[in-house]
Structure 1
Amino acid sequence: MLPKILILLCAFLPEKATGSTVKPLRYNLKILTRLDAGGARNLFEGIVSIDIEATKSTRFIYLNSSDLYILKRKTWLLRWASGKKLSVLQLQKNVREPRVVKLVIELPLRYGEKYTLNMFFSRNFNQKGHGYYASYYDKTPKVFYSMTRFEPEYAQTAFPCFDNPHFRTPYNITMVHDRKFVALTHMPPIKETPYDEIENYVSTTFMGSPPLATHQVMWTLHSLQKVYSGPTATGENITVWSRPHLAKSLAKVAEMTPKLFRNCETLFAYPLPKGPDWSGKLDHIVMPEYTELYSGQGLMVYGEDKVNPGRRGHESLQGMLAELVARQWNGLLVSSSDLNEVYVRDGVNYYLSFQAMGMEKEGYNMTYLLRTRLDVLYYDSLAKEKAIATDVRSTRHQKLRKNKMCLLIHMIKVAISDKLFFKGLQEFIKRYANSSALTTELWEELQRAARQTHQLPIGVSLHTVMESWLKKPGFPLLTVQRDDEKQKVTITQKHYNPKKMDISSKDCWWIPVVYIVKNLPLSQVEWLGCQRKKADILELKHIVNPKDWLLLNVDAAVPLRVLYDSYNLQLISTALLQDFTQIPELSRAQLVDDALSFAWSGLLPYNVTLKVISYLSKETSFVVWETALFHLKNLQGIMRLTTGFRIFKLFMKKLMKPVFKAAIKSLPMKARTSPEIPNIPKIFLNTTKTENKTDSSLPMILYQPACQFEVKECLADAQERFQSAIEQKSISSIPEEIRETVLCRGIRNSLEDDWVMVRDMYFEAKNDKDKSILLNSLSCTTEYWAMQKLLKWALDPEMVPSTLTAGLLSAVMRSSLGYYVGKEFLIANTAAILNRKDFKLILNAFVNVITTKDEFSSLNNRLRSNLPASQKSTISSMLEPALDKVIWRKSLYFDLLKAIRDLTLENGNSNSSVQDSP
């Protein structure tokens, strides 16, 4: 047995020994990039000179190299003490660990002495989006660029190195490249000289960097234009590189960035170094057709779609920048020792970006926290979802990892208090600055801060708490049962599955149960445990009087759902109708979200759910209404295709009319050219604030459904704005957030000439954002010929850019005429659609309107008969939302209509009837 153990141990020695015989002190890296031509020139080559110190007397050096071509005759060492050159006798690859190269030196290295290891290397570019890779945008002609992305362990594919996150060394980088490209690294260039060996090539030398781990190194070559460059008020120099047409949209970047740095300095209580090593420069690189967010010291890279991602414009851009800025502390200043857990860092940064933005724009953190919650609870309830500790490389799962981690950080903050959370985070940054740390060390620091003031019970370990969330998929359902005779509340947990509640599931979580009662608004925290994979039962005694409501998971503290007994839910519904502000804003959003989700899955009768949400006619919170509309629009998509839509529309109109009439008074008559961001110098925004006025964003989000449900104030306002735009032959006077709705309503009720004028505006529009709004609004036509023309354009790239096709077809399928014409279009063009790269996005337009079994079977059969075998495995997941709608319409359609009738009769109106078929 012992020999087997020794053999197994030896098999792992090369990886464990990487860097153990020497310690890197500095990298001198020279990279020559042949970019843009393909073929033999589509490669990079270089020389790396690594200053090292021998940590033991040895003839062997282990370092990392993956897919690089290295010449032994061009690999040698220089001993500092004597200047003697030492040859490398062998370069050995280990079969079990091919990423590790063993260098056999002709003479032993002496313990404590310093040497310089010189290596020549080369490699063809990869197109995989990691390591040092090349890509391009546009096609006529192609515009090439090259970029690095070394996380988690891809630096070894770009140059031989000691790829260990614990090693931090300075870097001196020189880039040799075609002079038409701009070379950028962490540091500013100090000189550019002609490279005589290749015509039109130059050599750009950069200032030496401060110590960095290998995965933090960044450089890029591009041909973007400098659209902004200048110093900030605090002395940094910001340069923005992009295509010229984005210059106006990026004008605010130079103003936003230093504010976000100041906010993060306040959050972390640790300023970034600003000495000569730091350089004080920051380059923003806005790359076309780039879908990632990536940053390092002195560099931020993001895609053009992040600049103008929709109606939120500058706010979304600022939120994205806040995430990248937070990474300068958590991810750069303190990096991860376990690079398999970078999703933890990303989730922390995402959450901290909310906090940084909350200091600039009141309510931002609540809004984005709830949007993230809606996204996570939907996708994490799907049957095929994986635990976030599972590294599935799909974009969907990577997004879920970051978003769910963000919510778990919020859970810790609420459980131990804002003050102690930030104290622990600040101590973590201070303790591990300029080094690497494990995720467990972050939990320990937060726990240490909480224990100092007894905010965390001795029996609760944050490491154990987080393990229970990270290593299993899904989330819990808390069931609350009151027993007022015994003055006891019993709280239990089980795995939430909206389709089938599996009572046999043994999954359980450690959960901070945050609660308030009517006469005790100060939140209390108790812990519901998970001992030896068996869920505890939490009993709370003497906490609530029989006539007082009890509210759990205050401020959406934990990503879970709460199912109350009928009596407590009735007390909450009554409280919301009497004075909704006595329930915190985030908790109201969760109540609405949970009630509508439970009703959709059949866990809660619709007559109970409608009583919970009926108070919305008084609700003034943007975030609560946004949560409600997320679900109500889903119902609308089904109901509009049934004879019961009239009843549903009357209910929605009654729900929305009072609040919309009040909110529309704050709607601007003209479009805002640059949204103002109030300067609110709050370190930590209190999410339990009491509202005393209507949110200025509320009319924007209510405008579309108010017009769809024919609230007359909305219809009149839309018609007035549309006529003004037609007279001016410009849509610029319409606020951007309601532009598509105004145009849609106008086209639906207007003459053919108006449709033609909007069509001409579409052809004249300069950017995709305006084109999308104008094109989608054209689909609101009631003319058959116009709808046919739009569908004819849809697959013609000369008429409709491919990036707008899916949006156009979604808009078409939402209209009454387009629903029927669109199905004919799909049948006629299935083959052409399935041959496109974006076929899944296009198919979603048709999947989203399926509500009957026949429609589902028809599309399912069509896809299975036309898709190649390799794609058929994706059909089930693609059609899952449609199947949910089919099941709902069959089983719960009449329950909703009956609940609307009962609520209407209860309120004294008997004009509605439910004698309709689904």
Structure 2
Amino acid sequence: MESANVVLPGTSGRKGLFIRRRVIVLHLLIVSAAFIAVALAVHYSGVKCPHYDNDTSVVLEPSTENPPSLKANSVVVEDVRLPKNLRPLHYDIRLLPWMDESNFTINGFIHILIECVENTNKIVLHSTDIEIDRVSIVNNAEIMMEIDEFEENIERQFFIIHLKSIHLLEEGNRYNISMNFTSILNEHQHGFYHASYTEYGQKKYIAMTQMEPVDARRVFPCFDEPSFKAEFSITLGRKRGMISLSNMPKIKTTPIEGVSDYEWDYFERSVPMSSYLVAMIIADYSYVESNASHNNITFRVWARHSAINQTKYGLEMGPKMLQFFQEYFGIDYPLPKQDMIALPSFHGAMENWGLITYGEQQLLYDPDMSSDSHREIIAQVIAHEQAHQWFGNLVTMQWWNDLWLNEGFASYMSYIGANHFEPNYRLCQQFVINEIQSVMGVDGLITSHPINQPVHHPDEINKIFDRISYNKGASIVRMLAEFLGHGTFQRGLSHYLKSRMYGNAVQDDLWAALTYQAELDSVQLPTDIKTIMDSWTLKMGYPVVNVIRNYTSSVITAQQERFLMNSRQELNSTYRWWIPLSYSSKAHPDIVQCGWIPEHSDQVNISLEATKNQWVIFNIDQVGYYRVNYDQHNWHLIIQQLTEDPREISVINRAQLIDDAFNLARTGLLDYSTTLNLTHYLQREVEYIPWRSAASGIKFLDSMLCRTKIYGIFQDYVIRMVDGFFHHVGESHDDQRTLRDNPIRANTQTIAWRLACHFQHCGCIQRATKLYSNWMDHPDQHIIPTHLKSIVSCSAVEHGGKKEWEFAYSKFNTSNSATEKDDMLEAMSCTNQAWILKRMIDWVIQGPLTKMESIHMLIYLVRNPLGRYLAFDFFKIHWDKILNILCNQSFTFTYIIRLIKGFVSKMKDFLDGKLQGHTGPILRTFDQLIERTEANIFWMNRYKENIVLWLSQKAEDLSNFIPKSNRLP
């Protein structure tokens, strides 16, 4: 606490209660002594702070000090926003986590400097699962005011200090409040939590934080909303020999008096930031430091001692990305250091300012064990999190309904940043399949939601951490950048960030900044940016543009309507968008920007320079977030061109045509014969991007037809398509250096192998079995290319027996590479031995897997048809335990769809009862599951026979085309 915040009575015209510096120092010494005493008592007596669930009132033992009464309020409410009459300016936080087998608690002390914005007689803080020492508040010499009572509002997660009515906090004055508390060092990956791992045969513990979105309140009482930015001074207690990290650099270390082998680490005061960005870690870790950092920024990468040799790529890429975004946004990184740390039992990454946390698979790279596709992922994740240092940290959304401002922009910028340093990955092409096409399946459901959606309760906030906020957000940002022009877009972002730095924003602030820049640059638009973009952010779903050609007059009509995956659902005529149109044709292969379909109109007419025998393709490079359908003749012309020479159409548009055709047919907007005729050309396709789109469409048909009598014909047809592709790219013997220089080739090989082996292509199975057998004979050699290891191992285990499975298990146990361990976990789940699958399912509850390994294993197991049946019974029996495993894993809730797919009719009654009271991600996941299942039933009744007829007509050709040597019996 600084002297600027200390005012002597009578020396200022401001009203309020302030206290001299020496009194404050004395008070802090007293509180610290009491804190240490409590800490010692808790630690050495083994007393634990109970975990208080949200539906249980907190009951504290009465004190001899006669503190104010505590009242509970358990009424279910939706509005959980804090009042705006106070705002925090500075937190002084001191935490001492205990990590041993008998005690995982945190002793804490917090001092908050607050400013009164509007007169009030109560102080409302967020607090949940925290036991607050009310006596320490009453005895606080700094507050010097009479407290009437305390209130614990469980549903709102509020801790309220009611003052006697005559003691108001007055507008314009600053006040101090301090308290001791005890919280939980939990194991659920939210707040401040712990995990264990084994290194050099020794079990070790690590403590780490994950505050986003609303879990800082589980660690310390606070104003836990993104708009309440404040500065933080953090002190962490730890065992000697371990390290501690926080957002800012460490200032000093001192012994903890009275606690042997423990020390305090003091960290610098932070810049103003939101509570969800506070980060703290205590671990037994090593670091490597970069010599390439700029602007005197200390850049370090931290990892387990035994994995520190896997940090080279992260250490190379991290400073580069940081410097790139400083130059791109025109704003220096404001902190003196940047740490990146690889954590066990963690998946994904978190952009904590100055201390970015990563799962080991998202940061560690071993050239001998990790594939180039894994390296590609690391580059993108690092770029995503570094972009957040500006988009999210420097300028933060006002409230969680604008989450996409953080995540959509960071997702888009991850491609810009990673592509700058790794152009060989062709990430700008991959954007279409990774982001646009992957999210359209979800966003085409009636159970989707707008990008910008009102949220109140924490469960509602957790629900929007999904593909709509990330993938769709990134997709519409890309569309925005394209129609503005990248220069205008970049300059507009810089203006936006500079005008809002260290503050908060809503999406309208961004539209205003971009509009300002567009006017400076004389960008011609049909209307203002807010009007255009609101049509995409405030509505769920997306359109399909129907292109209908008049072949006599060379005029096309472009019509918009909402696209729905379930074609039985009634279209809402009010769902319209501002749609940018572009096209190319056989006559004019260059991109032609041809205007817009306005939100207030169903269609526009456009003149084309193309004859009736020349194809036309709209939405060039799938810049617009929409699908395109054509009349039958234009589809015929496109298919004819693809068959003759696919290179005449861009790689991205080939992928778009495939994805659109499969999904348009799936909803009845296009005949399946047209879609399947289009796939004929794949026998000539050798590029990765179109094959990724094709694999997605094939996967859906595979899931729908796998239990029908025509599956064998369908299987033969896929083998026919993939045979040449597999022989062309899958059987090559490129060395690792060649693939590193051309990593997209490794991706292409991967998809060729995955399709061929899945559909039992004999050559693929034989090669996989042979490679795996050689590896078993020489386990210390790198026999299998890293990018093929999971596919080869899965196929070998599937077609092998106990010996093949046990080899994968031994590699899983002994590997020090997180990626290889995951590859082996996936391979083990491919077995057809029921007793082995049952054994693996039991591991979820009984160990020896970590939490993240358990989640991954369940996902892999339900991909196995036999594993799916076993998992069904396991799911019913262990519902509560599975939910516990998935706690705070919003994205991983989607795996439940896979888990119960095919059993919806049997599970519905069971889940209806289990889901009562749930409002979080799982409820939306289940709703989407029901919608998809109903649509699939309708699909089987309506389209199966059309596909049967088409495949039957091709059966003779297939039989003649595919040598028996390429099909397993």
- TM-score tier, shorter chain, comes to 0.7 to 0.9
Q: 162, 165, 178: which is aligned to 1:120? A: 178
Q: Deviations over 1:94-119 (max 9, x none)?
A: 9999678788999999999xx87443
Distance 2:744 2:487 in 1: 29
Distance 1:61 1:287 in 2: 44
* Partner of residue 794, structure 1: 841
Q: 437, 458, 471: which is aligned to 1:374? A: 437
Task: Determine helix, strand or coil for the equivalent of 1:450.
Answer: helix
Normalised to the residue count of structure 2, the TM-score between the two structures is: 0.75
Q: 746, 768, 793: which is aligned to 1:743? A: 793
* 2:406 counterpart letter in structure 1: R
The aligned runs of 1:791-870 (5 Å cut-off) are 791-796=838-843, 801=849, 819=865, 825=870, 832-834=877-879, 836-837=881-882, 847-848=900-901, 850=902, 857=905, 859-860=906-907
* 1:602 counterpart letter in structure 2: G
Structure 1 residue 811 displacement after superposition: 6.2
* Partner of residue 352, structure 2: 296
* Partner of residue 532, structure 2: 465
Q: Deviations over 1:366-401 (max 9, x none)?
A: 214421223311111223222232233345753422
* Partner of residue 687, structure 1: none
Distance 1:742 1:198 in 2: 54
The answer to whether structure 1 residue 725 and structure 2 residue 778 are counterparts is: no
* 2:196 counterpart letter in structure 1: D
Structure 1 residue 882 displacement after superposition: 4.8
Contact 1:29 1:48 in 2 (8 A): yes
The answer to whether structure 1 residue 507 and structure 2 residue 575 are counterparts is: yes
Distance 2:82 2:937 in 1: 57
Structure 1 residue 297 displacement after superposition: 3.1
* 2:585 counterpart letter in structure 1: V
Q: 490, 493, 505: which is aligned to 2:560? A: 493
- Check 1:875–1:64 CA distance in 2 against 1; reply closer, same or farther (3 A cut): closer
The aligned runs of 1:654-669 (5 Å cut-off) are 654-664=720-730, 666-668=732-734
The answer to whether structure 1 residue 48 and structure 2 residue 48 are counterparts is: no
For structure 1, list consecutive stretches of 5 or more residues without a partner in the other structure.
1-10, 78-85, 679-692, 913-918
The aligned runs of 1:250-649 (5 Å cut-off) are 250-273=311-334, 278-279=335-336, 281-291=337-347, 293-307=349-363, 312-338=373-399, 340-362=401-423, 363-390=426-453, 391=455, 392-394=460-462, 398-457=466-525, 459-499=526-566, 500=568, 502-503=570-571, 505-520=573-588, 521-531=590-600, 535-649=601-715
Distance 1:694 1:296 in 2: 32
Q: 126, 148, 152: which is aligned to 1:66? A: 126
Normalised to the residue count of structure 1, the TM-score between the two structures is: 0.79
Contact 2:197 2:344 in 1 (8 A): no
Structure 1 residue 640 displacement after superposition: 3.9
Distance 2:684 2:445 in 1: 34
Structure 1 residue 562 displacement after superposition: 1.5
Task: Determine helix, strand or coil for the equivalent of 2:553.
Answer: coil
* Partner of residue 209, structure 2: 147
Structure 1 residue 192 displacement after superposition: 1.0
Distance 2:708 2:209 in 1: 53
- Check 1:355–1:677 CA distance in 2 against 1; reply closer, same or farther (3 A cut): farther
Q: Deviations over 1:575-620 (max 9, x none)?
A: 2223322322222211110101122233211211122232222223
Distance 1:529 1:501 in 2: 24
Task: Determine helix, strand or coil for the equivalent of 2:312.
Answer: coil
Structure 1 residue 545 displacement after superposition: 3.4
Percent identity (aligned): 18
Q: Deviations over 1:475-527 (max 9, x none)?
A: 22222211223332112222211222524532222222232333331230422
Structure 1 residue 900 displacement after superposition: 3.7
- Check 1:456–1:629 CA distance in 2 against 1; reply closer, same or farther (3 A cut): same
Contact 2:408 2:472 in 1 (8 A): yes
* 2:500 counterpart letter in structure 1: Y
Distance 2:770 2:859 in 1: 26
Contact 1:63 1:162 in 2 (8 A): no
* 2:493 counterpart letter in structure 1: L
Distance 1:428 1:894 in 2: 55
Distance 2:475 2:726 in 1: 31
Contact 1:810 1:845 in 2 (8 A): yes
* Partner of residue 915, structure 1: none
- Check 1:447–1:587 CA distance in 2 against 1; reply closer, same or farther (3 A cut): farther
- Check 1:708–1:29 CA distance in 2 against 1; reply closer, same or farther (3 A cut): closer
- Check 1:42–1:847 CA distance in 2 against 1; reply closer, same or farther (3 A cut): closer
* 2:591 counterpart letter in structure 1: L
Contact 2:125 2:159 in 1 (8 A): yes
Distance 1:456 1:614 in 2: 42
- Check 1:710–1:44 CA distance in 2 against 1; reply closer, same or farther (3 A cut): closer
Please say which of residues 219-228 and 302-311 is displaced more in the overlay.
302-311
* 1:707 counterpart letter in structure 2: C
* 1:801 counterpart letter in structure 2: L
* 1:222 counterpart letter in structure 2: I
Structure 1 residue 902 displacement after superposition: 4.8
CA RMSD across the alignment = 4.6
* Partner of residue 247, structure 1: 308
The answer to whether structure 1 residue 133 and structure 2 residue 191 are counterparts is: yes
Task: Determine helix, strand or coil for the equivalent of 1:212.
Answer: coil
- Check 1:809–1:466 CA distance in 2 against 1; reply closer, same or farther (3 A cut): closer
Distance 2:772 2:429 in 1: 33
Distance 2:103 2:716 in 1: 69
- Check 1:770–1:160 CA distance in 2 against 1; reply closer, same or farther (3 A cut): closer
- Check 1:267–1:713 CA distance in 2 against 1; reply closer, same or farther (3 A cut): farther
* 1:492 counterpart letter in structure 2: Q
Contact 2:720 2:962 in 1 (8 A): no
- Check 1:286–1:104 CA distance in 2 against 1; reply closer, same or farther (3 A cut): farther
Q: 24, 33, 49: which is aligned to 2:96? A: 33
Q: 18, 26, 29: which is aligned to 2:86? A: 18
The answer to whether structure 1 residue 893 and structure 2 residue 944 are counterparts is: yes
Distance 1:226 1:422 in 2: 38
Higher relative contact order (CA 8 A, sep 6+): 2
Distance 1:811 1:110 in 2: 59
Distance 1:514 1:176 in 2: 60
Q: 273, 276, 296: which is aligned to 1:213? A: 273
- Check 1:902–1:302 CA distance in 2 against 1; reply closer, same or farther (3 A cut): same
Q: Deviations over 1:862-909 (max 9, x none)?
A: 956996877997766445545544443443223123324556889997
Q: 217, 220, 226: which is aligned to 1:158? A: 220
Distance 2:734 2:539 in 1: 47
Distance 1:758 1:217 in 2: 39
For structure 2, list consecutive stretches of 5 or more residues without a partner in the other structure.
1-78, 887-892, 964-969
* 2:452 counterpart letter in structure 1: A
- Check 1:387–1:134 CA distance in 2 against 1; reply closer, same or farther (3 A cut): same
